């Protein structure tokens, strides 16, 4: 029988194959594609960095995603519960708890950026963003984020909206929204790309994305590429364990993961192609940091007919994508409190929301009141991003891979990957086992130690 159907009462399942993929994509596609991917790529020198990132997505992100799927579908539980069911009475479940912390910390800065996106919907409606003057574009953004109350207001609003969606239930929210709106985002990005690559001076930006310059690759760059691979696919914290528990017994875990990864990469590359030609055409530096999206995209749209209209739609769709990702993040600590601690869903959602508003405010205030408050030389905003992407997700992801590879039995793993033998994919199962037992763990450890300066090549 179908596990996710028999347990419908307690845990909602997703109806169709498309439903599962749309839901998983709803978590993967978000600010990571349109905001983080471009700015990290810009800071790390372009094409060569993208190649390293793609390598890690396939070599590390994908196997970890499949591992989380296996754990989730096998146990029919969210992250902490999955460890407890699959390895009762052992400390493995602490990995799940570390995932809960990661999800919480990501939300602390993610909601801040999502707040900027929400606010930009209204700014673009009012026409205040319509400019082809780089100085104006930059100034509009700076004066917004250096305000005290306005960015906090938007961040808290984001938390309230996401919390309300969580309380309204999983299935209706995510599945429907992503199925209808992601394709529209995709189309809009294509329009954007067409405009961007035809701007005078665009070719330098295209070259930046297409012509790898390997001298730009350092150990820090490689670590950032690995961090991005975890962040992008929402792996290394147990989000995908939860989604795995929704996947029907007849769906292929590998097929689902590959489709999600490819679609996600497409969206990121399109965002890169929309942004970098504009960066160079308008004379910005690609290493602008987190502001990159907010300075360039308005200018791309300002250079086309009905710019204000399309710009508004762009930020609406970006908010939807961000909200899909945030629902999956927010849900990790909420699922922990409801399933492991025994809180009601309402209480859990409110407690987590309040904590996120509190901790998240320190990220938002990094642009003004706390600008000079540094931890390891980073503002709180950068600090949350750095430790989650580059340290916590790799470590949690490593342990998840080791758990599935070495603690679960080979037969259990093969059973999940082949849907009880019906997929007849023994060769692939053996390949996956080699990757998840040796290749991915060694790669994660080496990149981590090298990136943090413990070993040097």
In the complex, which residues of this chain contact ligand PHE (CB under 6 A)? Answer: 27-28, 30-33, 106, 231-232, 234, 237, 239, 325, 328-329
Which residue minimizes CB distance to ligand PHE? Answer: 32
Min CB(243)–ligand PHE separation in Å: 10
Q: How far is the CB of 300 from ligand PHE (least distance, A)?
A: 21
Whichever of 27 and 361 has its CB closer to ligand PHE, that residue is: 27
Residues 6+ apart with CB under 8 A from 321: 29, 30, 31, 33, 34, 181, 182, 185
Which is closer to ligand PHE, CB of 30 or CB of 248? 30
Q: Which of 64, 51, 48 is nearest to 441 (CA)?
A: 64
Count of residues for the chain? 457
Buried b (16+ CB within 10 A) or exposed e, 297-320: bbbbbbbbeebbebbbbbbbbbbb
Residue 48 or 103: the one with the smaller Cβ distance to ligand PHE is 103
**CA atoms within a 13 Å half-sphere pointing along the CA-CB vector of 104:** 21
Rounded to whole angstroms, how far apart are CA atoms 165 and 298?
Answer: 29
At closest approach, how far in Å is the CB of 330 from ligand PHE?
9
Complex with ligand PHE: residue 231 or 284, whichever CB lies closer: 231
Query: Is the CB of 239 or the CB of 401 nearer to ligand PHE?
Result: 239
Q: By three-state DSSP, how is residue 454 classified?
A: coil
The DSSP bridge partners found for residue 375 are 378
3-state secondary structure 199-254: CCCCHHHHHHHHCCCHHHCCHHHHHHHHHHHHHHCCCCCCHHHHHHHHCCCCCCHH
Please identify, using beta-carbon distances, which residue of 232 and 291 lies nearer to ligand PHE: 232
Residue 306 gets the label, from left (phi > 0), alpha (psi -120 to 50) or beta, of: left
CA pair distance 306, 136, nearest whole angstrom: 20
Greatest Cα pair distance in the chain: 64
**CB-CB neighbours of 429 under 10 Å:** 17
The nearer residue to ligand PHE, 242 or 302, going by C-beta atoms, is 242
| Minimum distance, C-beta of residue 156 to ligand PHE, in the bound complex (Å) | 20
Least distance from ligand PHE to the Cβ atom of residue 320, Å = 12
Q: Looking at the DSSP assignment, which residues form a beta bridge with residue 378?
A: 375
How many whole angstroms separate alpha carbon 457 and alpha carbon 151? 42
Nearest approach, Cβ of residue 425 and ligand PHE (Å): 27
- Report in angstroms how near the CB of residue 439 gets to ligand PHE at its nearest: 23
Question: Which CB sits closer to ligand PHE, 302 or 328?
Answer: 328
Cα 437–Cα 412–Cα 89 angle in degrees, nearest 5: 85
| Cβ nearer to ligand PHE, comparing 32 with 46 | 32
- Residue 400 CB, shortest distance to ligand PHE, in Å, is 13
Closest approach, Cβ 274 to ligand PHE, in A, equals: 16
In sequence order, which residues have a C-beta less than 8 Å from that of residue 101 and are 6 or more positions away? 392
Closest distance to ligand PHE from the beta carbon of 91 (Å): 24
- Identify which of residues 273 and 281 has a Cβ nearer to ligand PHE in the complex: 273
């Amino acid at each position: 029988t179908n596990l996710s159907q028999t347990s419908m009462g307690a845990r909602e399942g997703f109806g169709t194959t498309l439903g599962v993929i749309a839901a998983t994509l709803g978590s993967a596609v978000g600010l990571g594609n349109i905001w983080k991917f471009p700015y990290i790529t810009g800071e790390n020198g372009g094409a060569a960095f993208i190649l390293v990132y793609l390598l890690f997505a396939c070599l590390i992100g994908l196997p970890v995603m499949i591992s989380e799927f296996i754990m989730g579908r096998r146990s029919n539980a969210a992250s902490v519960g999955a460890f407890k069911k699959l390895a009762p009475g052992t400390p493995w479940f602490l990995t799940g708890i570390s995932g809960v912390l990661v999800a919480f910390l990501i939300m602390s800065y993610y909601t801040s950026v999502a707040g900027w996106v929400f606010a930009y919907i209204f700014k673009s409606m009012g026409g205040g963003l319509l400019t082809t003057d780089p100085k104006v574009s930059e100034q509009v953004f700076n004066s917004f984020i250096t305000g005290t109350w306005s960015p906090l207001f938007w961040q808290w609003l984001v938390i309230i909206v996401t919390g309300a969606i969580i309380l309204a239930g999983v299935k209706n929210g995510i599945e429907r929204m992503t199925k209808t709106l992601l394709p529209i985002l995709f189309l809009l990005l294509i329009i954007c790309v067409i405009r961007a690559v035809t701007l005078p001076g665009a070719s330098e930006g295209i070259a930046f994305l297409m012509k790898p310059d390997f001298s730009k690759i350092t150990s820090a760059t490689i670590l950032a590429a690995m961090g991005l691979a975890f962040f992008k696919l929402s792996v290394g914290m147990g989000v995908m364990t939860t989604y795995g528990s929704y996947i029907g017994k007849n769906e292929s875990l590998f097929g689902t993961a590959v489709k999600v990864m490819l679609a996600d990469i497409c969206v990121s590359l399109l965002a890169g192609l929309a942004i970098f030609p504009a960066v160079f055409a308008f004379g910005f530096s690609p290493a602008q940091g987190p502001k990159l999206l907010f300075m360039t995209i308005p200018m791309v749209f300002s250079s086309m007919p009905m710019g204000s209209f399309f710009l508004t739609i762009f930020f609406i769709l970006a908010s939807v994508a961000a909200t899909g990702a945030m629902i999956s993040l927010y849900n990790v600590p909420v699922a922990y409190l409801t399933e492991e601690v025994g809180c009601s869903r309402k209480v859990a959602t409110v407690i987590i929301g309040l904590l996120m508003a509190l901790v998240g405010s320190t990220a938002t205030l990094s642009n003004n009141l706390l600008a000079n408050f540094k931890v390891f030389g980073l503002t709180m905003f950068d600090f949350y991003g750095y430790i989650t992407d580059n340290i916590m997700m790799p470590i949690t992801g490593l342990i998840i891979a080791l758990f599935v590879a070495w603690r679960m039995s080979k037969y259990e793993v093969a059973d999940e990957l082949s849907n009880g033998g019906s997929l007849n994919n023994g060769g692939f199962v053996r390949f996956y086992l080699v990757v998840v037992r040796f290749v991915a763990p060694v790669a994660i450890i080496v990149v981590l130690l090298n990136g943090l300066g413990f070993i040097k090549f």
